[in-house]
Amino acid sequence: MKSAETKVEDTEENRQICRKYCGGCPTYKYNSLEKFQPDTLFCARGKSSSPSMKEVNCYCPACPLFDKNNLVIGRFCHRG
Ligand code: SF4
Ligand code: SF4
């Protein structure tokens, strides 16, 4: 059953999956999100603490965790 309660687990395996998508994402690169915490897996760990954020594009919909966890929209680095 689909549920808004679905939660992505914060595991090292999931962080590695995320790095393949967020790590190559234009928004991530433009805002140098590797410099701020959380630096990955925003869908589980919340939005970036970067003081300024410009949304460029989001690769979340291509990520396997996105479908698996029934996530919507993406841009979790900015929107939490
Ligand atoms: S959450 Fe989406 S917009 Fe943000 S860095 Fe990851 S892929 Fe890019
Ligand atoms: S859905 Fe987005 S933030 Fe979550 S693991 Fe995938 S690429 Fe990272």
- Residue that is written with structure tokens 């309660």 in the block: 5
Closest CA to 77 of 66, 69, 64, 54: 54
Residue 17 counted as domain residue: yes
Give the position, in ligand 1's atom list, of the atom nearest the Cα of 59.
Answer: 7
5 within domain boundaries: no
Residue 55, exposed/middle/buried by CB under 10 A (0-12, 13-18, 19+)?
middle
Our count of domains for the chain comes to 1
Three-state secondary structure call for residue 3? coil
Find the length of the chain: 80
pLDDT at 3 over 90: no
Domain housing 41: 12-79
Confidence of residue 2 (pLDDT cuts 50, 70, 90): very low
Tens of pLDDT along 15-70? Answer: 999 999 999 999 999 999 999 999 999 999 999 999 999 999 999 999 999 999 99
- Identify the nearest ligand to the CA of 42 by its number: 2
- For residue 22, the ligand 2 atom closest to its alpha carbon is 7
Structure tokens at 70: 């029934």
> Quick one: pLDDT at residue 80?
87
Residue with the smallest CA separation from ligand 2 atom 8 is 18
Residue 2 lies in a domain: no
For residue 4, being part of any structural domain is answered with no
